[in-house]
Amino acid sequence: MKRFFKILKRALIVLLSLAGVLLIVAFFYMKQAKFGKLANGERLERIQKSPNYKNGKFVNQIIKPTITEGYSMTSLLYQTLFKKFERRFPTDTLPTIKTNLKALPADTNLVVWFGHSSVYMQLDGKRFLIDPVFSGSASPLPNSVKAFKGVDIYTPGDFPEIDYLIISHDHYDHLDYKTILALKPKVKQVVCGLGVGAHFEYWGYAAGQIIEKDWYEQLVVSPGFTIHTFPTHHDGGRSLKRSQSLWLSFVFETPSMTIFYSGDGGYDPVFKEIGKRFGSIDFALMECGQYNVAWQSVHKLPEEVKQATIDINAKRMLPVHHSKFSLAQHPWDEPIIKMKELAKDAPYTLVTPIIGEVLYLDNPSQTFTRWWEGIN
């Protein structure tokens, strides 16, 4: 018995030593620049004055658990590690179009989608780039969350000068360190949520370039052209300390049209609020993908995407947040298949451009192919 306890004691010492080493490695690994920086000083003081910052973190307007009742983080982790889910990744190369973005006439209103939530827009002569991720990965961990075959054909060097870099929140699949560094010479101004600017300043952007907004604020771009920031039910964070920076959705109100970008988030009353405030939305970029009933409070299910699009009175809708990275358990093409089916009796028009295809905002009759069909 004495020998047994000796062996057990040695085993515990080894395990504790390994745990200590792992903690030390993790501590120094997370000191890398790609993890960003938490707000401090005047930036933190402004955050603490926000009505949406309570008890040391930002909170959603409606408090509800991230994990749906009946599920647990333990069960989800077990499924991720040990259960096989079919067709999470396409085996074929996805179709793409390599558009010469620098040659696009600046006075043409258009959208180019690059997979997931990365979007280039031209509105009334201004150039916008939304949540760009062009490093081939959506994770800070090496060799993880890689882009699907064929979709990562654009680089920061392909873009013209950007008037406004729009960041919905600081998760890795929306705020990519390598891409942000490479874009620095091209970006005039950054528009992001409170606290997100700390990352940009840490990464070498000038304080005067960074415009940080709370919910229900505005940025006047030019006479008659305003960017409005709205809530979305989600969270933020690039480290173990969550919700230290704010997550946003956006309405781009120009003299000729109104565009909505949902950012990430679950279904929320804010969609009806936006619909009432603006009357109708000409074009909507709606998150649809990387969802699960287990976390639908922070990522809409397809049926909820449809309802949210109806709530904001959108005329046309482009589903984003799919077809580049697999961050959930559903088949890679399920989001676009479901959105196409749900759009059959919807009061809006679903648009489905190929990655890199130019979508003309002033041409509501433009048609698109079912590019995902026949791809394994």
DSSP string, 177-194: HHHHHHHGGGEEEEEEET
Query: H helices within 83-238, ranges in order?
Result: 177-183, 197-202
How confident is the model over 287-308, as pLDDT tens digits?
999 999 999 999 999 999 999 9
Interatomic CA distance for residues 155 and 151, integer angstroms: 11
- The predicted pLDDT at position 171 comes to 98
Strands 281-287 and 314-320: parallel
**Confidence band for 9, pLDDT divided at 50, 70 and 90:** low
Interatomic CA distance for residues 323 and 235, integer angstroms: 22
Please say if the pLDDT value at position 219 is more than 60: yes
Please say if the pLDDT value at position 68 is more than 60: yes
Using alpha carbons, select from 79, 88, 93, 224 the residue that is nearest to residue 153: 93
Q: Which CATH architecture has domain 101-360?
A: 4-Layer Sandwich (3.60)
Q: What is the pTM of this model?
A: 0.94
**Low-confidence winner among 1-15, 66-80, 88-102, 132-146 (lowest mean pLDDT):** 1-15
- The predicted pLDDT at position 26 comes to 59
Residue 178 burial class via C-beta count within 10 angstroms: exposed 0-12, middle 13-18, buried 19 and up: middle
Mean pLDDT for 99-123 is: 98
How confident is the model over 157-209, as pLDDT tens digits?
999 999 999 999 999 999 999 999 999 999 999 999 999 999 999 999 999 99
Query: H helices within the chain, ranges in order?
Result: 2-29, 41-48, 73-82, 177-183, 197-202, 270-278, 302-311, 334-342
- Return the percentage of the chain with pLDDT > 90, whole number: 87
Q: Average pLDDT of the chain?
A: 94
Please say if the pLDDT value at position 15 is more than 70: no
Please say if the pLDDT value at position 72 is more than 80: yes
